[in-house]
Structure 1
Amino acid sequence: MYAEETSEYESIISRFESVAFYEPFDDSEAPRWSNAAGYDGKYMIGNGSSKLQIEGEQGLILPEPAKRYGVSTLLENEFYFQNQEFVFQYEVRLHQFLQCGGAYVKLLRGGEGFSPESLTDSTPYTIMFGPDKCGNSNKVHFILQFQNPVTKEWVEHHLKNPPGIMQDRETHLYTLALRRNNTFGIFIDTKLAAKGSLLSDFEPPINPPKYINDPADTKPLDWVDEKEIPDPDAEKPKDWDETQSQMIPDPKATKPEGWVDDAALQIPDPGAVRPADWDDEEDGQFQPLIIDNPACKVGCGEWKPPQIPNPLYKGKWSAP
């Protein structure tokens, strides 16, 4: 956040002995982080262009706009979170307003043979989390790549209703909490932004439906789709008149008293006076203004009765 006064930075890494991974970016070289070879953007460690709240605090900076960045590192140890709560969080500051880009993090899937330099868009991951914005799309991603225990297929599951990102130049803390009861919470600056079930609030759901349509089933040749059909024995009633209009003039209507049939709705103003300084050669022929005809307060022109529903109308006949 912005502040008029800054305090001196002090590393707090010693307070996090129980965490699986913590990165304060105290080392300006950040030797354990690597740029991926397939991305043209190169990260740097620094303060960024905006005013600091804590003097000396550093972060991983993506300095050049309109470039793609892929930065990753390897964990020193393997961590297992069975029957434990898992919390992942990091701070994001957009020194320039985000137009089209992402500041999300992927927790890559474990396995042999991966090197940070080989990172690509298709590198397998377990969790993708963080802000992303482009055009009308504005959301905090939460995506899981989960292996179906039956089919062994890896499937990507997207949170159905992700929250929006913070669109300003201040620092914001994005937190993802996964709980033992298969629920999750997304927090922005420690305030709950979204919550739900890991099993049912994703598309597609992690737990597939118990029953599905049989993909091998085929439609029987004698299957009839229509539940009802026109009665083949039905006949149009002899008194059914299809020539009747749906609306007819009201036979009970009468022309209002005071209606003038042969008068115009608007007339030249009879009270208009030609200005004394009017010059026909320069100003053209004088014509009075057109006004509403005072004789037409009730109505003028051809009178027609209003339309009403025709009681004899039946429409085109069709078999029931």
Structure 2
Amino acid sequence: MFCSDLSILAMAKLNPSFISLILIGLVAIASASVIFEEKFDDGWEKRWVKSDWKKDDNTAGEWSHTAGNWSGDANDKGIQTSEDYRFYAISAEFPEFSNKDKTLVFQFSVKHEQKLDCGGGYMKLLSDDVDQMKFGGDTPYSIMFGPDICGYSTKKVHAILTYNGTNHLINKEVPCETDQLTHVYTFILRPDATYSILIDNVEKQTGSLYSDWDLLPAKKIKDPSAKKWNHTSGNWSGDANDKGIQTSEDYRFYAISAEFPEFSNKDKTLVFQFSVKHEQKLDCGGGYMKLLSGDVDQKKFGGDTPYSIMFGPDICGYSTKKVHAILTYNDANHLIKKDVPCETDQLTHVYTFILRPDATYSILIDNVEKQTGSLYSDWDLLPAKKIKDPSAKKPEDWDDKEYIPDPEDTKPAGYDDIPKEIPDTDAKKPEDWDDEEDGEWTAPTIPNPEYNGEWKPKQIKNPNYKGKWKAPMIDNPEFKDDPELYVFPKLKYVGVELWQVKSGSLFDNVLVCDDPEYAKKLAEETWGILKDAEKAAFDEAEKKREEEESKDAPTADSDAEEEQEDDDHEGDESDAESKPEETKEETKEETSSEKDDAAAHVCL
């Protein structure tokens, strides 16, 4: 196990399922010291502070102290996330220190019991004074380290270092573990600015801060006129002159916005519409846009900028392929409670959100209504109008058993005489069995095919069944209606803000208006007249791609050569097996020595 040390506030923002042993330490030339070590044994809650981050909008998750659904020791517990679609933040403080002239080691274990297809399992080290009760995603940190899984493409170890107030992601690909078992992640940072990343005590990556992070300016830079957004119609389109803006670089944040005359949708229908095409075959990321209110510094527009409406498709792994519709009410963001599937192919699609003065809404994709309803029922903007009567109790004579044992059903005669197991008639006494030494031989038993288990009377419908008892609904005393629930009084900006693992999302034909019919007409005049030509262009591009891949496919001759090489290799192995015993021992000693050296290297 590694000694480690760090003396900044060791805050942990955890998105995994299960966190166990955490170790932070320093290794000097002559000695090693452990600054912080946590095994989450008794008293752990006194050492850790659960943040209030996201509590106000009811999206803060609860931690469980458990060994999980499977473990090597039921008493070896960690902390585990327990609720879906929640934010989690917890932190612990240790004595402040500096890793100057010392090796810093940061280590923890994590287990994703939920078979994670989109999420992180990283932890953070923080510096200076931090309000632990407010610790969250916006809190500045020094190091963020751990596994990150997002769909098919992202299954790697994140190592983000903060330098001069800027976060820098490692530019090396370090694959992480993706199963549902516990794994140990270790980050080692040395005084010579070299580092190592280990998983389960095996070194997976080593290098230098100078080459593997962009902490210092590069000796050569890209053309400063180059932009992250491309003005293009994409790799396939229905009209090469019909251009939008497209993300162009992988592993980048994107933010762009436009201002329009400030207005209010009071007493009017609000329509928000745009098209998006994910040419990169998106497996993890968003294609949503935002409407913002009030005064916004567009140069600083980003993920932390407050917004009024966020709308559009979101894809993340196998489980999340839906349309997001998030409304801000009383400074809290509220996600729609309905599941509205989004499109997942590589073609252009039009997304439309319609909000009416009667607080009803509609979501359309390609001019087809996919969801409609009310702000009152499909978002938790206000407390519920009706609640279950907390004082109501189920009547004592209420019978909620749908089925009961048949009182007229009787146990068959001799039922209990049927044994569960019977002697195996095919078994024979072993020839070397000695009755005097081994005792009297008896045949082993096997399950009796005629045994039907413990007798139970058959079930019949309960004539007195009244159904499942439910508490009566009453008016909620906390409910206060807001006739302007649908109103956004100072809409002024539209923007796109997202993180792209794989670039290629193309946005076009953005519209904010008060006329659903005009929006429908615009969609038909843009997407509608070009969709067939775009599909044909896409099919042609796919055909060319498949032809290129088939050219690169191995031929039968190359397969035969590989088989011959394998045969030759097997011959070498058979030669090794025929070596004299003395030579085998020498080989064995060499192998053992190599293993010892490797183990020592891992531990340094």
Q: Which category of TM-score, normalised to the shorter sequence, fits these structures?
A: 0.5 to 0.7
Q: 1:129 aligns with which of 142, 145, 161?
A: 145
Superposition pairs for residues 227-266 of structure 1, below 5 Å?
Answer: none
Determine the structure 2 residue equivalent to 1:89: 107
How far 1:26 moved relative to its partner? Answer: 0.6
Tell me the equivalent position of 2:37. Answer: 22
Q: Does structure 1 conserve the Cα–Cα contact (< 8 Å) formed by 2:67 and 2:73? A: no
Distance of 1:35 and 1:140 partners within structure 2 = 25
2:83 aligned partner? 64
Q: Is the 8 A contact 1:62 1:69 kept in 2?
A: yes
Q: TM-score if structure 1 supplies the norm length?
A: 0.55
Structure 2: distance between partners of 1:129 and 1:115: 21
Counterpart selection for 1:181 from 183, 186, 192: 192
2:157 is aligned with 1:140: yes
**SS state at 1:25 partner:** coil
Q: Which amino acid aligns with 2:66?
A: G
Query: What are the within-5 Å matches in structure 2 for residues 74-223 of structure 1?
Result: 74-75=93-94, 77-111=95-129, 114-135=130-151, 136-147=153-164, 154-202=165-213, 205-209=214-218
Per-residue Cα deviation, 1:12-69 (whole angstroms, up to 9, x for no partner)? x9xx99301000111265222122212311212121112x212411101112232221
User: What is the letter of the counterpart of residue 48 of structure 1?
Assistant: G
Task: Give the Cα separation in 2 of the matches to 1:195 and 1:214.
Answer: 30
Deviation at 1:194, TM superposition (A): 1.2
Q: Which amino acid aligns with 2:52?
A: A
- Runs of 4+ that moved beyond 3 A: 209-215
- Provide closer, same or farther for how the CA distance between residues 160 and 56 of structure 1 changes in structure 2, counting only shifts above 3 A: same
1:300 maps to: none
Which amino acid in 2 is paired with 1:161? K
CA contact under 8 A between 1:28 and 1:46: conserved in structure 2?
no
Contact 2:146 2:157 in 1 (8 A): yes
Provide the rounded CA distance (Å) in 2 between the counterparts of 1:143 and 1:49: 31
Q: Given residue 68 of structure 2, which amino acid in structure 1 is its aligned partner?
A: G
1:142–1:162 Cα contact (<8 Å) kept:
no
How far the C-alpha of 1:97 sits from its partner, in A, is 0.6
**2:69 is matched with which residue: 46, 49, 53?**
49
Residue 207 of structure 1, CA deviation: 2.2
Q: Which runs of 5+ in 2 are unaligned?
A: 1-20, 27-31, 55-59, 225-604
**CA distance 1:159–1:211, shift in 2 (3 Å):** closer
Tell me the residue number matched to 2:47.
Answer: 32
CA distance in 2 between counterparts of 1:213 and 1:193 reads 30
Taking structure 2 as the reference length, the TM-score comes to: 0.30
Q: Which has the larger radius of gyration?
A: 1
Which structure carries more strand by proportion? Answer: 2
CA shift at 1:96, angstroms?
Answer: 1.5
Q: Is the 8 A contact 2:112 2:179 kept in 1?
A: yes
Residue type of the alignment partner of 1:120: G
**Aligned residue type for 2:193:** N
Q: Shift of residue 127 of structure 1?
A: 0.4
SS across alignment from 1:200 = helix
Decide whether the 8 Å contact of 2:146 with 2:159 is kept in 1.
yes
Please give the alpha-carbon distance, in whole angstroms, between the structure 2 residues aligned to 1:194 and 1:162.
Answer: 9
| 8 A Cα contact 1:29 1:45, kept in partner | no
- In structure 1, the gaps of 5 or more residues are 1-10, 148-153, 216-320
Distance 1:209 1:31, change over 3 A: same
Aligned to 2:353: none
The CA RMSD measured in Å over matched residues stands at 2.5
Q: CA deviation at 1:100?
A: 1.4
